[in-house]
Amino acid sequence: MARTCDICSKRTEVGNQLCRRGISKKKGGIGIRITSREKRLFKPNIQNIKARTVDGKPIRARVCTSCLKAGKIAKR
C-alpha cells in the first residue's frame, strides 16, 4: 500500500539534497557554491488511526499528522 494520506492525498515526493561549500559574501568570502546534488525522498508522517465517520461508525484511516493537527478528521 502506498504511503498516502486518505484526506489530503499527500504522498512521497522526490527532491534533492544539496552539498554546499564556501563562506558567504556577507562574512567576507566569495559566496557559497553547490558542490553536489543527491536524490532523496520527502516522506509524509502517516499514522494509522481509527476515525469516526459522519454516521458515527469507526473506520481505519491512514492520515498525515498535519491533517490530524488541523482537525480535518476526528480520532475515535
The pLDDT score that the predictor gives to residue 1 is: 62
Tell me the H-state helices in the chain. 65-70
Q: Give 52's pLDDT tier (boundaries 50, 70, 90).
A: confident
Q: What is the dihedral of CA 41, 42, 45, 48, to 10 degrees?
A: -40
4-26: pLDDT as tens digits: 999 999 999 999 999 999 999 99
